[in-house]
Structure 1
Amino acid sequence: MQGQRACENRSNWKRKLRNGLKTSMLLIATIMSVGLGVLLGLLTRRLKPTPDTISLIGVPGEVLMRMFKLLLLPLVTSSMVSGVANLNQSGGKLGIMALAYYICTTVIATVLGIGLALSVRPGQVMKANSSSKVVHDEPLPDTTDTILDLLRNIIPENVMQASFQHSKTTFSKYMSVSVNTTETSAALIHHSPNYFEHGGHIWQRSVNYLDGMNVIGILMFFAVFGVMLNNMGESGRVMVDLFNILNQITMNMTKLVMWYNPIGILFIIMNKILEVRDLETAAQQLAMYMVTGLIGLAIHALVVLPAIYFILTKQNPFRVSLSLIESLLTGLGTSSSAAALPLTLRCCEEKMKFNKTICRFVLPIGATINMDGLAIIQALTPIFLAQMNHRILTFADLVAISLSATLSSIGAAGVPGTGFITMLVVVAAVGLPVEDAYMVLAVDWFMMRMVTMVNIYNDSLAAGILTKYFTPSSNSIELSNLN
Structure 2
Amino acid sequence: MEKPCESNGHIGKHSDYTACQVEDNASGAKPRASGHKCAHFLKKNAIVILTVSGVLVGVGLGMAVRRMNLTKAQMTYFAFPGEMLLRMLKMIILPLVVCSLISGAASLDTRSLGKLGGIAVGYFLVTTLMASGLAIALGFIIKPGAGADALNSNALGIEDTVTTNKETVDSFLDLARNLMPSNLVAAAFRSYVTEYVIHTRNTTEGMVVEKIPVGTEVDGMNILGLVLFALILGVALKKLGPEGEELIRFFSAFNEATMVLVSWIMWYVPVGIMFLVGSKLVEMGDIVLLVTSLGKYIMASILGHIIHGGIVLPLIYFAFTRKNPFTFLLGLITPFTTAFATCSSSATLPTMIKCIEENNGVDKRISRFILPIGATVNMDGAAIFQCMAAVFIAQMNNVDLNAGQIFTILVTATASSVGAAGIPAGGVLTIAIILEAIGLPTNDLSLILAVDWIVDRTTTVVNVEGDAFGAGILHHLNQKEAAKNQQELNDVYVEAVPNLKSEAETSPLVMHRDQTLNPPCIAVPESKESVL
Shift of 1:246: 1.4
Show the counterpart of 1:321: 323
Show the counterpart of 2:488: 473
Show the counterpart of 2:24: 4
Show the counterpart of 1:296: 308
Show the counterpart of 1:105: 123
User: Is 1:220 the counterpart of 2:245 in the alignment?
Assistant: no
Show the counterpart of 1:168: 193
Shift of 1:445: 10
Show the counterpart of 2:399: none
**What letter corresponds to residue 157 of structure 1 in structure 2?**
S
> Structure 1 residues 281-290 or 241-250, which shifts more?
281-290
**What letter corresponds to residue 369 of structure 1 in structure 2?**
F
> For residues 232 and 80 of structure 1, do their structure 2 counterparts lie closer, same or farther at Cα, with a shift above 3 Å needed?
same
Shift of 1:333: 7.6
Structure label with greater radius of gyration: 2
Show the counterpart of 2:440: none
**Distance in 2 of aligned mates of 1:18 and 1:144:** 58
Show the counterpart of 2:35: 14
**What letter corresponds to residue 340 of structure 1 in structure 2?**
N
Q: 2:216 aligns with which of 176, 192, 208?
A: 208
User: What are the within-5 Å matches in structure 2 for residues 439-450 of structure 1?
Assistant: none
The answer to whether the 8 Å contact 2:309/2:462 transfers is no
The answer to whether the 8 Å contact 1:331/1:452 transfers is no
Q: 1:24 aligns with which of 42, 45, 58?
A: 45
User: What are the within-5 Å matches in structure 2 for residues 405-416 of structure 1?
Assistant: none
Show the counterpart of 2:281: 273
Matched residue SS, 2:481? helix
Show the counterpart of 1:36: 57
Note the alpha carbon deviations across 1:303-355, whole angstroms, 9 max, x for none: 43455x4xxxxxxx6xx325x8876654558962211355x8xxxxxxxxxxx
The answer to whether the 8 Å contact 2:58/2:275 transfers is yes
Shift of 1:236: 0.8
TM-score by length of 1: 0.67
**What letter corresponds to residue 417 of structure 2 in structure 1?**
I
Shift of 1:228: 0.9
Shift of 1:298: 3.6
Q: 1:140 aligns with which of 155, 165, 172?
A: 165
Shift of 1:297: 2.9
Shift of 1:101: 3.2
**Distance in 1 of aligned mates of 2:303 and 2:31:** 42
**What letter corresponds to residue 45 of structure 1 in structure 2?**
R
> For residues 302 and 327 of structure 1, do their structure 2 counterparts lie closer, same or farther at Cα, with a shift above 3 Å needed?
closer
**What letter corresponds to residue 381 of structure 2 in structure 1?**
L
Show the counterpart of 1:151: 176
The answer to whether the 8 Å contact 2:381/2:461 transfers is no
**Distance in 2 of aligned mates of 1:83 and 1:440:** 33
User: What are the within-5 Å matches in structure 2 for residues 278-289 of structure 1?
Assistant: 278-280=286-288, 281=290
**What letter corresponds to residue 236 of structure 2 in structure 1?**
M
> For residues 108 and 382 of structure 1, do their structure 2 counterparts lie closer, same or farther at Cα, with a shift above 3 Å needed?
closer
Question: Which ranges in structure 1 are unaligned for 5 or more consecutive residues?
Answer: 176-180, 190-194, 197-202, 310-316, 345-362, 406-422
> Structure 1 residues 165-174 or 243-252, which shifts more?
165-174
**What letter corresponds to residue 276 of structure 2 in structure 1?**
I
TM-score by length of 2: 0.61
User: What are the within-5 Å matches in structure 2 for residues 59-98 of structure 1?
Assistant: 59-87=80-108, 89=109, 97-98=115-116
**What letter corresponds to residue 323 of structure 2 in structure 1?**
S
> For residues 119 and 34 of structure 1, do their structure 2 counterparts lie closer, same or farther at Cα, with a shift above 3 Å needed?
farther
Note the alpha carbon deviations across 1:353-377, whole angstroms, 9 max, x for none: xxxxxxxxxx554444355996897
Shift of 1:474: 4.4
**What letter corresponds to residue 338 of structure 1 in structure 2?**
E
Q: 1:248 aligns with which of 234, 242, 256?
A: 256
Shift of 1:452: 8.3
The answer to whether the 8 Å contact 2:188/2:221 transfers is yes
Matched residue SS, 1:30? helix
The answer to whether the 8 Å contact 1:385/1:437 transfers is no
**What letter corresponds to residue 308 of structure 2 in structure 1?**
G
Show the counterpart of 2:512: none
Show the counterpart of 2:246: 238
Show the counterpart of 2:359: 340
> For residues 28 and 136 of structure 1, do their structure 2 counterparts lie closer, same or farther at Cα, with a shift above 3 Å needed?
closer
**Distance in 2 of aligned mates of 1:93 and 1:51:** 56
Show the counterpart of 1:380: 381
User: What are the within-5 Å matches in structure 2 for residues 191-206 of structure 1?
Assistant: 196=210, 203-206=211-214
The answer to whether the 8 Å contact 2:191/2:219 transfers is yes
**Distance in 2 of aligned mates of 1:269 and 1:382:** 24
**What letter corresponds to residue 104 of structure 1 in structure 2?**
G
> For residues 38 and 302 of structure 1, do their structure 2 counterparts lie closer, same or farther at Cα, with a shift above 3 Å needed?
closer
The answer to whether the 8 Å contact 1:57/1:271 transfers is yes
**What letter corresponds to residue 108 of structure 1 in structure 2?**
V
Shift of 1:239: 0.6
Show the counterpart of 2:417: 401
Question: Which ranges in structure 2 are unaligned for 5 or more consecutive residues?
Answer: 1-20, 336-351, 395-407, 432-450, 494-528
Shift of 1:67: 1.6
The answer to whether the 8 Å contact 2:382/2:427 transfers is no
Show the counterpart of 1:369: 369
**Distance in 2 of aligned mates of 1:117 and 1:380:** 10
> Structure 1 residues 450-459 or 293-302, which shifts more?
450-459
**Distance in 1 of aligned mates of 2:163 and 2:332:** 48
The structure with more helix, counted as a fraction of residues: 1
**What letter corresponds to residue 258 of structure 1 in structure 2?**
M
Matched residue SS, 1:49? coil
Shift of 1:10: 3.0
> Structure 1 residues 279-288 or 234-243, which shifts more?
279-288
Task: Give percent identity, aligned residues only.
Answer: 21
**Distance in 1 of aligned mates of 2:230 and 2:468:** 28
Matched residue SS, 2:194? strand
Shift of 1:27: 1.4
Structure possessing the higher relative contact order (Cα contacts under 8 Å, 6 or more residues apart): 1
- Count of residue pairs the alignment pairs up: 407
Shift of 1:439: 6.7
